[in-house]
Amino acid sequence: MSTHVLIVLLVIAALGAPAQAESLEVQEVQAALARCDRRLARLDADSARALATSTADLPAIERAYGEEVARRQNVLDSALDLLFPVAHHLASGSLLSLDSALVSHNAAALGMYAPDEFRRRIGGGVYLAEAFDPARDVILCVHGIHGTPADYRGFIGSVDRARYQVWFAYYPTGEKIPAMAHALHEALAAELARHPARRVWVICHSLGGLVFRTLLARDGFPGPLATVTYVSTPHRGVRFAPMPVVRVACRWLWRVLPAEVDDLLEGSDYLAALNAAPAPGVRVRTAGGDAWKSAKARMVGPFIPGADDGLVPTDSTPLAGSASYRVFHEDHYSILSSPEFQRAYAGWLAEDAR
């Protein structure tokens, strides 16, 4: 097995819960993964306590963490074939269940670190939560970095399904943003040709907002676009401050971000060009967060100067020309499931539909 694939397997091990068991062999792999998950969770908790008290224990914690990940590598030498058989590939335009292993954290990690394997084993494109209904408008959900449509599980439960049907954009996030945007545009054009929606309301989380803004700037939207809502999108980029314990932050960042992150950094040429491009003629809503509620947010947040949601600076989430901007006391991972955000989004929909 190539070194690259072994690295992919290692990253998948560090990031995701195991897929649903389908054979005794898969069950054995998942049991081993679960044991590693529990040990890594304890080490994560230890590192969080060390950050809050004394940094003297951090080197030992990091060594133990690395040893545990190495043990996982031995377990996962053949995990791609076990967890994502090529036969499970799901073509764009298909119905997609959020309970599928194809939208697990493992799948998200595969998309970050091995985009070609993601396309071969999982697919990518635009997926439907239910059979198309021409009488209802579409809400298109665009996930962010290390994301899948399952990130919207809590959100879509609040959608009025009598008036709206849900579509999901799904793409590997380990590529340059323009490549992601072009692939999404092609998939949307094909899906809207098959299923001409009356109107499409788009909600984008995190990196998904930059992907969609790039799509609009370069190719335009291939259908009747109503409004776009950007949630926790780093329109001005992300930033981190050097600190004595920055090595711990980097250990978390490589678990969350792909290698191609230059365009996401504050001051990048990509963001400068995108923010200088003419605004598309569509109504925009924007939202951000300012809290650390999850362990991931508490681990990364201290390395971000100023208010932030545990990954994106709060002052990076507004966008010039937005019809509204609101900050929620949520972090980068909790905002979509927040009842307060969901009520606000329902109100925006009602207002914009008039």
User: What are the structural domains, with CATH classification, of the chain?
Assistant: 3-82 (no CATH), 94-353 (3.40.50.1820)
CB atoms under 10 Å from CB of 100, counted, come to 18
Higher-pLDDT residue of 295, 108: 108
Taking a C-beta distance cutoff of 8 angstroms, is the pair 72, 33 a contact?
Answer: yes
Q: What is the mean pLDDT of the chain?
A: 84
What is the value of pTM for the model shown? Answer: 0.80
Checking if the pLDDT of 62 tops 80, the result is no
Between 88 and 14, the more confident residue is 88
pLDDT at 3 (0 to 100): 39
Range name among 221-230, 247-256, 267-276, 295-304 with the lowest pLDDT average: 247-256
Long-range CB contacts for residues 276-281, cutoff 8 Å, separation at least 24? 277/217, 278/217, 279/320, 279/321, 280/216, 280/217, 280/220, 280/221
Give the model's pLDDT for residue 7: 34
CB 150 within 8 A of CB 212: no
Mean pLDDT (whole number) for 134-158: 96
